[in-house]
Amino acid sequence: MTQFAKLVDEKFTAAKEKKALFSIDAIQTEKESGGIKFEITCAPALAKKPTNEDKSQEKVNPFLNPNPDLVVKELDEHLILLNKFAIIPNHLLLVTKEQKSQKEPLFPNDLYETYKILQEFGSPLLAFYNCGENSGASQAHKHIQLVPLNGNNGVQPPIKKLYDQIHDRRVGQIYAMDKLPFVHVIMQLDTNIIRAATKREDLTDYLSQMFFGLLDAMFQQLRENAQPMNASYNFLMTEEFMMLIPREKEKVAISHDNKDYEFSLNSLAFAGMLLCKSEEQLEAMKAQDDLMDILVQVAIKWNPDAQRLDAERQLGLEAHLA
């Protein structure tokens, strides 16, 4: 265990004992869909958690002057906090000290501090960012979340199974995965460049170039699929890759046994990790024929002509450069 991971673990245990955070019991199950094994977590206690829709909570920002028992570390522009409502132990939040909007993209220092946490934790983490009103963000104050990954056989997060199937994958190249029926872009990071980045600015510059290149590619996909450019999106990052998924809606509705259930989906859903707040919701989720259909409802379905349009664009670019 690294020194940073030990600090996080000690802070989590102490905060739990002081009741500064709530370690929420949950049950987990798995369901195979679309080539990946989705992890479905059921945590009924979350149904009692206050939300931004509660009028009494409208003016409360938990990230300004947070409970000191939840502060793991103070950085120049950020705080590393423990998640007050933790389904996964040692769930971390990287929060801007100043109040900034969750509708903003990640900036260079956000990316740098996030990646340093991934490196220093010592065991696999998944970082994610819910950007915009349709992304599933629970707070308006800018924050990146990081959760420990404890899956079987080292295939984590679940989406990594499809990522590993990309043939002849090259660092820096932007891909879309055939088995995902919605618009997305994914990129392998160059660990050699990252290891060689001994200065903060070198790592910051590299991560920024990769992120904004990926963001440009996502907007290109939206143009080719005749979608608006102001879409919300979800962002996933491990030490190995970055992924972006534009969003059209925050919530999905599914039916089971003549009842309708509504779910708010955030970035974790696109990593293959779904959350339910009751056993009824869990049964409804398990009863779905294909969980990919749930993701398609809130993401942006591929335009069947998008591949042809992209090929024509590439030919036009090559002719222009010739």
| Phi–psi pair at 120, nearest 5 degrees | -80, -15
Rounded CA separation 86/106 (Å) = 24
Residues 215 and 209: their CA atoms lie apart, in Å, by 10
Phi, psi of 217 (to 5 degrees): -65, -35
Tell me the two tokens of residue 296.
Answer: 């398609």
Task: Please state, in angstroms and rounded to a whole number, the distance separating the CA atoms of residues 166 and 177.
Answer: 7
Instruction: Give Dmax over CA atoms of the chain in angstroms.
Output: 68
Angle at 281 between CA 276 and CA 286, to 5 degrees: 95
E strand residue ranges, 83-183: 85-86, 92-96, 125-131, 143-148, 174-175
Asked if 72 contacts 7 with a C-beta cutoff of 8 angstroms, the reply is: yes
d(CA 71, CA 211): 27
d(CA 98, CA 30): 39
Residue with tokens 């996909």: 221
Please check whether residue 139 is in contact with residue 63, taking contact to mean a CB–CB distance below 8 angstroms. yes
How remote is the C-alpha of 89 from its chain's centroid?
17
From 78, 91, 143, 184, the catalytic residue: 143
Note the helical H segments in 200-260. 200-224
| N- to C-terminal Cα separation, the chain | 54
Query: Is there a catalytic annotation at residue 143?
Result: yes
Which residues lie below 8 Å from residue 83, measured CB to CB, with a gap of 6+? 21, 91, 92, 93, 145
- Residues with active-site annotation: 143
